[in-house]
Amino acid sequence: MSPSRNDLAELELRELEADLAAHGVEPFHARQLYRWVYKRGVTEFDRMSDLSRDLREMLKREFTIGTPRVVSDDRSIDGTRKFLLELADGRRVEAVFIPDTPAMTFCLSTQVGCAMSCGFCLTGRMGLVRNLTAGEIAGQVRVLAGATGLLDLPFNIVLMGMGEPLHNYEHTMKALRVLHSEHGLAVSPRRVTLSTVGIVPGLERLAHEPLMPNLAISLHATRDEQRSELVPPNRKYPLAAILDACRRFPLKKRSRITFEYVLLSGVNDTPEDARRLVRLLAGIKSKVNLIPLNPAPGIPYERPSDERVDRFAQILADGHLTVSVRKSRGRDIRAACGQLIVEGGSKKSAAQQMALLMR
């Protein structure tokens, strides 16, 4: 690939229109290209039959369409599929297709690895290798939608794969704008959920976005001391700051903030934890998604019993919180929450990762 060729997959529609205009091409051709790439999954210019031969030749000279390559497609007994995707530089990420949840859902990665170092998450053990570009994030959707036959059908997106979306803010939001284009996949922000450990400056920026996804906060503890052990960014952005940002977050009618809470046996699953959680979320339009730990080698915690999970959920319900218990999907192929990891790569040191976070 020539380094001078522009990657069409990295461009919003207005950017593509401007690039084509520089080559004397009318703007409507940008809309045609978006339809070919996003609605039909076509990435070879010669197959774009409603474009003139001269235009196709120019596009081949000047543009490329970067697309993650499927290395493996593992299928669970419950229908979940985990895709190992290779990027242009050889780095790899995982993305997951979760059917019937109740909609079809794609779980996307926003970084190669993750700098958050959450104690119960395998991805955090990778460290941060690099951010994904907007095209690499949106490209996961193109690949998964094509592989599952959903290019022309509705689906949901959760930014809950590898990485912290608000730690890669610009590329994540640009990817959502690309996916939202009516000439492409036309993904409504109502069908997108962004999950974050609570990077407060990112939350404050997100509150002013014209294209605002649903928000999920990975809470996992009710005391700062414990949360700082489980979720190290809490040392910079403690519970009070995160919950204050949530109280000020603009929510549309009937919308709520989801609080995700991984239950660790004998650690954060006591009745006292549940009652504290009720008090912490008072006054916030919220729902709680309880996630019994998905165990994995290298994770020093255990999954609580069903009885402890049910007791925790009942205390929340008695406290007038809306609560659900997430059913693990794809555990047999290591595709469940907290189990995504790829080997290799040159990660940043813990000190480098935290320095990036504190900026």
44 is catalytic: no
Q: Are 56 and 63 in contact (CB under 8 A)?
A: no
Listing DSSP states for 166-232 in one string gives GGGHHHHHHHHHHHH-TTTT---GGGEEEEES--HHHHHHHTT-SS--EEEEE---SSHHHHHHHSG
- Whose tokens are 């995700």? That residue is 260
* Residue in 33, 81, 87 with CA at minimum distance from that of residue 60: 33
Active-site residue, selected from the candidate residues 94, 136, 164, 260: 94
Q: With the CA atoms of 142, 148, 152 and 155 taken in that order, what torsion angle do they form, in degrees rounded to the nearest 10? A: -80
Q: How far apart are CA 243 and CA 284, in angstroms?
A: 8
229 is catalytic: no
Q: Which two tokens stand for residue 54?
A: 């001269």
Q: Residue 268 contacts by C-beta under 8 Å, 6 or more apart in sequence? A: 220, 221, 222, 226, 230, 261, 262
Q: How far apart are CA 303 and CA 118, in angstroms?
A: 16
Residue 139 DSSP one-character state: H
Active-site residue, selected from the candidate residues 107, 114, 246, 337: 337
Longest dimension (CA), the chain: 70
At residue 294, what are phi and psi to the nearest 5 degrees? -95, 100
- Strands 322-325 and 105-107 turn out to be unpaired
Adjacency order of strands within the sheet including 257-263:
69-75, 81-86, 92-98, 105-107, 156-159, 192-196, 214-218, 257-263, 286-292, 322-325
Q: Which two tokens stand for residue 174?
A: 């640009």
CB atoms closer than 10 angstroms to residue 120 = 23
Q: Which two tokens stand for residue 218?
A: 């990975």
Q: How far apart are CA 275 and CA 341, in angstroms?
A: 34
Q: Residue 153 contacts by C-beta under 8 Å, 6 or more apart in sequence? A: 104
Q: Please give the positions annotated as active site.
A: 94, 337
